Amino acid sequence: MTAGAIRVEVFDTTLRDGLQVEGVSATVEDKLRIAEQLDALGVHYIEGGWPGANPKDIEFFARAARELDMTTSTLVAFGSTRRPRGKVDDDATLRNLVEAGTSAVCIVAKSSEYHVTQALQTTLDEGEAMIADSVEYLTGQGRRVLVDLEHFFDGYKTNPEFSLRALEAAVVKGASHVVLCDTNGGSLPHEVEEIVGAVHAHVGRDVAIGIHCHDDTGCAVANSMAAVRAGARHVQGTLNGLGERTGNANLTTIIPNLQLKLGYTCLPEGRIERLTAVSHHVAELLNRAVNPQSPYVGSSAFAHKAGLHTSAIARARDAYEHVNPELVGNGTRFVVSEMAGRATITMKAAELGLELDGPAVNGVIDDLKRLEHEGYHFEAADASLELLMRRASGWQQEFFRVESMRVITDELPNGDFTTEATVKVWVGNDRRVFTAEGNGPVNAIDLALRSALNGAYPQLDRVHLTDFKVRILDGAGATGAVTRVLIDATDGDRDWTTIGVSTNIIEASWRALEESIVFGLLHAG
Ligand SMILES: [Zn+2]
């Protein structure tokens, strides 16, 4: 990045637009934790929600003012212009916006003729006045006012005069930003570049131009980039592209594209390295895993299923990777399977910081071939692979030793099921016997093992299981069906996956669970 690079502001709307996604709901507590992550990443603006649309968002802004210590980001309350034919000073939406107490507010305004006349059922003059009055009122209250011009691109394509009138109304009354929204997400990059260019030629000297895209054509990132090329200096989007339908513009892709490829400054010095961690942490808070194939931050983004190319990649990573993954806090990963040769295993060992001699490497290759034949799949279970390789180097886990494990499921006369697990383990010379009830066998053995280790390893409090996947593999010949269990876990900073395989689903689960806990203890900071 060159000194004095052009700044492009990042406006994150994960907590407002992003939470429109199906199947996700966040508590006020979750939203506060996400805001902290966004501040740590260093975005300029964090849109916290729509106070007035729901009581949770009112509580969020009240608690954010008391509890959050923002160092880089400005918190923004979202709302809309006044109602048609209404007055600004008795408008509940505007009052809630002011009462949220943020220094900046963002209001959505209708900027397409069709939406003013059809959705609002009012005249274009009134549509313009709604924007002008609302911006004037909010700036009069000392707020910095950003205006999201809803359906701007669609409106501009049919009646550019009105869309520009709506935009000018905001500029004249002192809006700091006019944000052009592709609300339906149907625009394409060449259209966005052309229209933003026209707007920039029109008002680019008077106001900051922003862009807000949705991904309905799969072009939200490309459209945002096109807008910046055409003069936009403010980009709205969400972490991991969260949002309704196909999602919002994905900031975890846009930020590195703008900063690493085009030389714009989006985040303060030294922050882009946090991108991968923040992306995963926020996904965790929302219980929605990052797509492994996400550009820059996905677990597969820099994963090489090497084979023949392994040593070539090791020699010249930049020939196979479009950027250095460490720039965004990710890392090169060599995917290891039964196909792996000595070079791949040696490199994987180096990646993990292990020294394996020749016989140990051969041992790993033999183990992989045997276990993958039994149904293991180490590509998907990096943590189990690491433990296997450590064992090959002579390491043994000394956190605990299992004497026995038992799990019982009963059906009660009323039709309810109860599950109870008993685990007997040794921690050093201390024998611990614990029983726990759970809502299923895996939950019960997890709880029993944790209870047994409780006290000895307080760091386990941070480790929890995030996903549990079971696959029944085709019965090979007469041996019957084999069950493969994958368990995902996290300690908040690091995510990992372990695997267990057996004809017995409880045994497969127990193997994966035990390795998951061992891996968590091994890496607990
Ligand atoms: Zn939106």
Of 6, 13, 44, the C-alpha closest to 31 is 13
Question: Which pLDDT band, with edges at 50, 70 and 90, does 4 fall under?
Answer: low
DSSP strand E in 350-461: where? Answer: 401-411, 417-427, 430-438
Contact 235, 254 (CB under 8 A): yes
Report how far ligand 1's centroid is from the alpha carbon of 142 (Å): 26
pLDDT at 374: 86
Q: How remote is the CA of residue 234 from the centroid of ligand 1, in Å?
A: 15
Tell me phi and psi for residue 483, to 5 degrees: -105, 130
CA distance 135 to 128: 11
Looking at 424-469, list the stretches that DSSP marks H as alpha helix, in order from N- to C-terminal side: 441-453
Distance of alpha carbon 392 from alpha carbon 377, whole angstroms? 18
C-alpha 214 – ligand 1 centre gap (Å): 6
Q: State the chain's mean pLDDT as an integer.
A: 92
The C-alpha atoms of residue 252 and residue 108 are separated, in whole angstroms, by 24
Q: Which two tokens stand for residue 154?
A: 């669609």
Hey, which of 164-168, 346-350, 411-415, 464-468 has the most confident mean pLDDT?
Answer: 164-168
Structure tokens at 289: 């895993």
Distance 7 CA to ligand 1 centre (A): 23
Cα(248) to centroid of ligand 1, in Å? 7
Ligand 1 midpoint to CA 238 (Å): 10
Distance (Å) from CA 60 to ligand 1 centroid: 20
Angle between helices 92-99 and 124-140 (to 10 degrees): 30
Q: Summarize the confidence of residues 68-90 as an average pLDDT.
A: 95
How many angstroms does the Cα of residue 186 sit away from the middle of ligand 1?
A: 12
Cβ-based neighbour number of residue 206 at 10 Å: 12
Q: What pLDDT score does 475 carry?
A: 56
HSE-CB of 143 using CA atoms within 13 angstroms? 27
Residue labelled with tokens 């911006």: 135
Reported as a single tens digit per residue, the pLDDT across 139-179 is 999 999 999 999 999 999 999 999 999 999 999 999 999 99
- Distance from residue 17's CA to the centre of ligand 1 (Å): 6
505-523 and 382-392 are packed helices; what angle lies between their axes, rounded to 10 degrees? 70
- Which of these ranges, 140-154, 182-196, 314-328, has the smallest mean pLDDT? 314-328
Specify the long-range contacts of residues 346-354, CB closer than 8 Å, at least 24 apart: 347/306, 347/310, 347/311, 347/314, 348/385, 348/389, 349/389, 349/393, 352/386, 352/389, 352/390, 354/389, 354/390, 354/393
Give the distance (Å) from ligand 1 centre to CA of residue 358. Answer: 56
CA atoms within 13 A on the CB side of 1: 21
Between CA 145 and CA 124 the distance in angstroms is 22
pLDDT at 287: 80
Count CB neighbours of 443 within 10 A.
16
Instruction: Report which of 467, 35, 46, 44 is spatially closest to residue 281, judged by C-alpha positions.
Output: 35
Query: What is the sign of the dihedral through the CA atoms of 238, 231, 78 and 65?
Result: positive
Spacing, Cα 63 to ligand 1 middle (Å): 25
Q: How many angstroms does the Cα of residue 350 sit away from the middle of ligand 1?
A: 45
pLDDT higher than 70, residue 525: no
CA of 5 to the centre of ligand 1 (A): 28
Cα 340 to averaged position of ligand 1 atoms, centre (Å): 45
Side-chain-side CA neighbours of residue 309 (13 Å): 12
276 Cα: distance to centroid of ligand 1 (angstroms): 23
CA of 408 to the centre of ligand 1 (A): 50
Residue 442 has pLDDT above 80, yes or no: yes
pLDDT of residue 29: 92
Whole-number Å distance, alpha carbon 216 to ligand 1 midpoint, is: 11
- Which residues, including other chains, have CB under 8 Å from residue 78's CB and lie 6 or more apart? 13, 16, 47, 48, 49, 50, 97, 105, 106, 107, 108
Distance 525 CA to ligand 1 centre (A): 39
Question: Over the stretch 486-515, which tens digit does the pLDDT of each residue have?
Answer: 999 988 888 899 999 998 999 999 999 999
The pLDDT assigned to 144 comes to 98
Determine the Cα angle at 200 with ends 195 and 204, to 5°: 160
Binned at pLDDT 50, 70 and 90, residue 134 comes out as very high
Give the HSE-up count for residue 443: Cα atoms under 13 Å, Cβ half-sphere: 8
Q: Crossing angle, helix 505-523 and helix 441-453, to 10 degrees?
A: 40
Q: 273: CA distance to ligand 1 center in Å?
A: 27
d(CA 94, CA 349): 59
How many angstroms is it from 250 CA to the middle of ligand 1?
A: 12
Distance 237 CA to ligand 1 centre (A): 8
Q: How far is Cα 64 from Cα 192, in angstroms, rounded to an integer?
A: 35
Helices (H) and strands (E) in the chain, counts: 17, 16
Distance 213 CA to ligand 1 centre (A): 7
Q: CB burial class (10 A; 0-12, 13-18, 19+) of residue 456?
A: middle
Cα of 242 from ligand 1 centre, angstroms: 11
Low-confidence winner among 21-25, 247-251, 302-306 (lowest mean pLDDT): 302-306
Rounded to an integer, the average pLDDT of 331-346 is 78
- Give the span between the Cα atoms of 483 and 502, in whole angstroms: 5
Amino acid in the structure at residue 466: T
HSE (side-chain half, CA atoms, 13 Å) at 27: 5
C-alpha of residue 53 to centroid of ligand 1, in Å? 16
Place of tokens 């280790």: 453
**Mean pLDDT, rounded, for 421-428:** 95
* 222 CA to centre of ligand 1 in angstroms: 16
Distance CA 217, CA 223 (A): 10
Q: Retrieve residue 327's tokens.
A: 């720039």
Total residue length of the chain: 525
The strand pair at 104-110 and 303-304 is best described as: unpaired
* CA 32 / ligand 1 centre spacing (Å): 21
Q: Hunting for tokens 């039709």 — which residue is that?
A: 415
pLDDT for 471 beyond 90: no
How far, in Å, from the CA of 212 to the mean position of ligand 1?
A: 7
Please report, rounded to a whole number, the percentage of residues in the chain having pLDDT higher than 70.
Answer: 96
Beta bridge partners of 107: 79, 147
User: Is a pLDDT exceeding 80 seen at residue 425?
Assistant: yes
Mean pLDDT in residue range 362-373: 89
Q: 261-312 pLDDT, tens per residue?
A: 999 999 999 999 999 999 988 988 888 888 999 999 998 999 887 666 667 7
Compute the distance from residue 108 Cα to the ligand 1 centre, in Å: 10
Does residue 330 carry a pLDDT above 90?
yes
Q: What is the CA(246)–ligand 1 centre distance, in A?
A: 11
User: Which residues, 6 or more positions from 37, have their beta carbon under 8 angstroms from its beta carbon?
Assistant: 278, 281, 282, 285
The alpha carbon of 249 and the centre of ligand 1 are apart by a number of angstroms equal to: 9
The larger pLDDT score, comparing residue 67 to residue 54, is at 67
Alpha helices in 176-241 (DSSP H): 189-203, 220-229
pLDDT of residue 453: 94
Q: Could you report the per-residue pLDDT of 200-224, keeping only the tens digit for each?
A: 999 999 999 999 999 999 999 999 9
Q: In terms of Cα–Cα distance, which of 367, 379, 372, 307 is closest to 341?
A: 307
User: 183 CA distance to ligand 1 centroid (A)?
Assistant: 6
